[in-house]
Amino acid sequence: MNRIFSGIQPSGNLQLGNYLGAIRNWARMQDSHECIYCVVDLHAITVPQDPAELRRATREVAAGVIAGGVDPDRSVIFVQSQAPEHAELAWILNCVARLGWLNRMTQFKDKAGADRDGATVGLYTYPVLQAADVLAYKATDVPVGEDQKQHIELARDIAQAFNSMFDTDFFPLPEPRIQPEAARIMSLRDGTRKMSKSDPSDYSRINMTDGADLIARKIRRAKTDPAPLPDHAEALEGRPEARNLVTIYAALAEVSQETVVERFAGKGFGIFKSELADLAVAVLGPIGEEMQRLMAAPDEVDAILGRGNARAREISGPIIRAAQDIVGFHRA
Q: What are the catalytic residues? A: 111, 194, 197
Work out whether 278 is an interface residue with ligand TYM (CB under 6 A): no
Choose between 67 and 142: whose C-beta lies nearer to ligand TYM: 142
* Positions in 196-215 near ligand TYM (CB under 6 A): 196
What DSSP letter does each residue of 241-285 carry, written as one string?
A: HHHHHHHHHHHHHTS-HHHHHHHHTT--HHHHHHHHHHHHHHHHH
Stretch that binds ligand TYM, among 4-12, 65-73, 220-228, 279-287 (CB under 6 A): 4-12
Report, in this order, helix, strand and coil percent for the chain, each rounded to 5.
60, 10, 35
Least Å distance, CB 184 to ligand TYM, is 5
Choose between 181 and 278: whose C-beta lies nearer to ligand TYM: 181
Q: Of 116, 208, 113, 157, give the one whose Cα is nearest residue 149.
A: 157
Least Å distance, CB 197 to ligand TYM, is 7
Using Cβ positions, the residue closest to ligand TYM within the complex turns out to be 21
Whole-angstrom Cα distance, residue 228 to residue 226? 7
Which of 101, 102, 147, 239 is the binder for ligand TYM (CB under 6 A)?
147
Work out whether 315 is an interface residue with ligand TYM (CB under 6 A): no
Work out whether 133 is an interface residue with ligand TYM (CB under 6 A): yes
Work out whether 75 is an interface residue with ligand TYM (CB under 6 A): no
Alpha carbon of 57 to those of 13, 28, 185, 204, 312: distances in Å?
Answer: 8, 24, 22, 20, 21
Tell me the β-bridge partners of 8.
39
Tell me the β-bridge partners of 39.
8, 79
Amino acid occupying residue 107: Q
Binding mask 20-49 for ligand TYM (x = CB under 6 A): -xx-----------------x--x------
Q: How many CB atoms lie within 10 A of CB 112?
A: 17
Chain residues binding ligand TYM by CB under 6 A are 5-9, 17-18, 21-22, 40, 43, 130, 133-134, 142, 144-145, 147-148, 151, 182, 184-185, 194-196
